[in-house]
Every structure is written in structure tokens, then in C-alpha cells.
A and B are shown apart, each in its own frame.
Chain A
Amino acid sequence: MGHKSYFYLKQMALNVRQNWPTQTMTLLTVTLSVLIFSFFLLIYTNIIAAGERLGDDLRLIIYLQDEVVPELQPVLTKKITDYGEVEKVVFISRAQAFSRLEQQLASEKDVLDDLGPDFLPPSIEVYPKRNLKNLTHLKEFSDYLATLPGAEKVQYGQSWVERFGYFTELLRIIVILSGVLLILATVFMVSYTIRLTVVAKEAELEVLRLVGASNRYIQTPLLFEGTMQGILGSVLGTGLLFSIFKWTQLHLSGPGFLNLLDFTFFPASTTALIIGAATLLCVGGSLLSIRKYMRI
């Protein structure tokens, strides 16, 4: 095995040297594709994390005509939890609502003196579970809650939640598109490079066949070439993204957007996954070319 690897690596080095301008172009393409994809993925994952944090205070308030008698509360709770993923449901009586308002007004609670403790409507506070799916489906959930018996009006931070939902949806599409770009660019470029290598080595391949070289002897260096493009390109791409991330943290720190999002880089496992996937794509590109252009 030792000698075999030596010959495969030697042959691969020869291929790279013979065809270095195309090899460089391919490496750049793989690097850029990985960079673009992981850049949008990083933003997307951070936005989702931010959405979950912002969702801590998210609740839907159902204003009711009348107080809900304690016997009816489990029935309503079941109806609510049956529809969507809910963290908790809290019933607020008129008196509780009044007491809360008093606490909020603090020293200015005198303004409430002329109003009786029954002037505020009773309500139900619904705390949905914090995930993106729930965030983007709040409108439907709210519409459903409005149909509950006794419900007069449902309120939640509709405007920002909807915008946030659209934004994350847009990001999701961009991540998918950049993923497709990554797949197409790497597979195409690597398979094109291998094809050029095969064409440049036509005479050599003929002699190799005449001296009895096995398919494995001929193909393995080409597969090594694709693997090397994948590993180098993806390590460079993610490395570049990490450098951009660090630079941004250093220069754009302060009470800005990034701090609001509490931006973090990928965990090591995700980085390894990106590198592994890009490498696999490059190996796939090599295989494609080998099967297509080498009649062996």
C-alpha cells in the first residue's frame, strides 16, 4: 500500500504541474462557491437563533368578552394546544389585568382612580414554542385563536413578526440557491479539469495501457486530484469566511446589528460537514469525468 500511495501521489503531482492554470481556476471556483454558500448559511443560522431569542417575549393575547369560568379553562387550553405548539396558556381575569396596569403605571396610577377595576377586558395569553416554524405561522395561529368562543380580538407583534418571517424565508431561498451554485460549480469545474487532464494525458494513457497499467493505477490519481481540490477549496473557503467573521467582530463591534443578533461562527461539526460535503462533490465531479472520458 505504501508504494501504491507513493505512485498515486506522484502521478497526481505530475497532473497538477502539467495543468496548473486550470487547476488554480478550479481551486478558486471551489473556494468561492464554499465561501458564498457558507456565508449565507452562517447568516441564516444566526438569524434563526436570533429569532428564537426574540421569541422569548412573544405571546398572543386573546381579548375576551367575559371571564372564562375555571371549568371551561381546560377545554379552551386543549383547543389552543391542539392547533399549534404552545409553551403555556395563561388566563388573565379583569382584576389581574387591572393590577398589572397599576404596577406598570407605578407612580402615575392615580389616572386609574376614576375607572373601576372591571374596565379592562379579561384575556388569555398564549406563549407559542420558540421556533421558526411557529414564528412564520403566527398569522394563521392568530386567525384560529380569533375563532375561539368569546374571543373579541387577538393581538401580537404582527408587523415585525411578519417582516422577520419574510426575511428568514428570503434567506432560506438564498441559502438553497447558493447550495445549488456550490453543487453545480464544483461538480462542473472539477469534472472539466479532470477532462482536461485526461485529454492532456491521452498519449500517456495509451502507453500506460500498453504496459499493463490497471484501471485503478490510472484512475486513482485523478480521484486524488478531485479530493485535493475539494479539501483545499473548502478549507480555504471556510477559512476565508472565518477571517471575515473575525474581522467584522473586531471592527463592527458595539451596540449595532451584530450585537443584537449575538453573531456566532459555525460549530466545528458544521464546518467539518461543509468541508466533507464539498470534498464529496469534487470526488463526484472526478468520477463523472473518469466514467465519461476514459474508455477503460
Chain B
Amino acid sequence: MLKSFPDDRPLVDIVKATKVYPPDIIAIQNISLTVAKGEMLFLTGISGAGKTTLLKLICAIEKATKGVIEVAGLDLARTGPAEIQRMRRQIGVVYQDFKVLPKHSVYQNIAMPMEVTYRDPKEIRQRVDELLTHLQLTHKRNIQAGKLSRGEQQRVAIARAAANAPPLLLADEPTGNLDTGISELVMSLFEKLNREGSTLIIATHDESIYRNTRHRKVELEHGLFASHTLHKQLPLIDL
């Protein structure tokens, strides 16, 4: 679905989207945004700017009050639950609250998206080990996720989102609990996924991860666009 989507059409197309939470809290208002296939986009802004809401609308956790949200050509307002589930299998999401299962081991948490797509168990083991190595969590492989620090849990959530090398990855404050060194590891993983063809939308208020980026940056303020920065051409660094 997302993998075979043509390159010349936007993978994510948001047209005049508004989300109002009851009774009358406007989270985002009249937002229009297109994200091309293979793009890496930073969604910035202070807390409460509407970044999380926008990500939730894209992965169909929330429905827009007004406007159209299309992912790989699917109008999410008109898509049935089975189709949404199929779509989610191709989207990796790093949630702000991690949504890590505390009684499951680190391995089980990361393997979950691959298991629901019935991947070869051997392949799953290899991929999980690869991600654990990249994120320096190998020694925690069989520990219950609930016994990890916040930063470690966040890395587990990142590894889970990246497990399927998804065509679309949404990350909500992925470096919020991480120190600089680990943040760089996480960003290098995202860059790697992007080079391999994944489209990434990263919501963050951590300026350090997008300050010198060559990627597009969109700033939200009180649910509206504040600024829009186009690609900054920087030399590619192989990580």
C-alpha cells in the first residue's frame, strides 16, 4: 500500500484539517501540509502547538473535525477499520508516552510489529538484535521493559517503530528523555531509515536535532502554521 505508492504523489496530504476536542478546544486549525514519499520532515513548536494531534490524525488514532487527511491516497475519514489496520502495519509510530508494555521483555516489545505481519521468526530475531545493537540496548534484551529507565523505554519505543523499516515513520518527541549522545544515535537511525526509503515526520521541540538539518521544517503555533522552511542543502553524512 504505502511501499508501492507512486513517488510523484504526496504520501501524506492534509487539506485544511481542523481538530476540535470537546467542548471547544481547538488543537489544530486549517492546517494544510503535503509530505512527499522519501521525505524527512521536522514538525516543531512548543508544547500544545498541535504537533501530537497532527501525528495522531495521520495514523488515524484521531479523526479530523474538518478537512481531509490522505495517507497513500487513502482518505482516512472514509476508510474502514480493516483498511486502517492494514495501513498501520506500514506506519511506525514513536508515541510521546512510549506505549511500551511493562511486563513484556524488551525483545517482545520490539518484535511486536513484525509478529503481527507474520515475519519469519529468524528474520525477527536478526532485526531486533540489529536495532538493539544500534540503540545500545543489547544487554537489556530479555529484561522486562517496565524495569528500564525512561530513556531506555523511549529507545525501546523507537526500536519498535523502526522494526519493520516502515515506509512511513511518525515520531513524537523521540529524544525527549535522551542525552545528547543517545539522541545522535536515534537520529542516525532515522537518517538511515530515510536513506533506505522511509518517509519520516518527527515532531519535536528539541532544537538540537533539527538545527543544522537539510530537511524541511514546519513550525506550529497554537494549532496554526507559524513558519515553513524549505530544504536546506547540506552535504550528506554517511552514518
Name which of A44-52, A95-103, A170-178, A203-211 contacts chain B.
A203-211
Enumerate chain B residues within 8 angstroms of A208, measured Cβ to Cβ.
112, 116
A144 at the interface (CB under 8 A from B): no
A210 touches B93 (CB 8 A): yes
Enumerate chain B residues within 8 angstroms of A212, measured Cβ to Cβ.
85-91, 113, 116-117
B85 touches A213 (CB 8 A): yes
Enumerate chain A residues within 8 angstroms of B86, measured Cβ to Cβ.
212, 214
Query: How far apart are the CA atoms of A3 and B87 in the complex, in Å?
Result: 21
Contact check: which of A3, A204, A207, A210 meets B118 at CB < 8 Å?
Answer: A3
Enumerate chain A residues within 8 angstroms of B91, measured Cβ to Cβ.
212
Closest residue of chain B to A206 (Cβ to Cβ) is B99
B101 touches A214 (CB 8 A): no
B192 at the interface (CB under 8 A from A): no
B120 touches A211 (CB 8 A): no
Type the 1/0 row for B25-58, where 1 means its CB is closer than 8 Å to any CB of A.
Answer: 0000000000000000000000000000000000
A211 touches B113 (CB 8 A): yes
Query: How far apart are the CA atoms of A7 and B118 in the complex, in Å?
Result: 7
Query: How far apart are the CA atoms of A70 and B121 in the complex, in Å?
Result: 88
A4 at the interface (CB under 8 A from B): yes
A207 touches B115 (CB 8 A): no
Closest residue of chain B to A217 (Cβ to Cβ) is B116
B116 touches A214 (CB 8 A): yes
Contact check: which of A6, A203, A210 meets B61 at CB < 8 Å?
Answer: A210
B63 to chain A, nearest CB (A): 15
Enumerate chain A residues within 8 angstroms of B104, measured Cβ to Cβ.
204
Enumerate chain B residues within 8 angstroms of A4, measured Cβ to Cβ.
118
Excluding A212-B91, A212-B113, 12 further A-B contacts by CB distance (< 8 Å) are A3-B119, A3-B121, A4-B118, A204-B101, A208-B116, A209-B88, A210-B59, A210-B61, A211-B88, A211-B112, A212-B87, A217-B116
Tell me the A residues contacting B by CB distance below 8 Å: 3-4, 6-7, 203-204, 206-215, 217, 296
The 7 closest A-B pairs by CB, nearest first: A212-B88, A212-B89, A213-B116, A211-B113, A3-B118, A212-B85, A4-B118
Q: What are 15 A-B interface contacts by the 8 Å CB criterion?
A: A3-B118, A3-B119, A4-B118, A6-B121, A204-B101, A208-B116, A209-B85, A210-B61, A210-B95, A211-B88, A212-B88, A212-B89, A212-B113, A212-B116, A215-B85
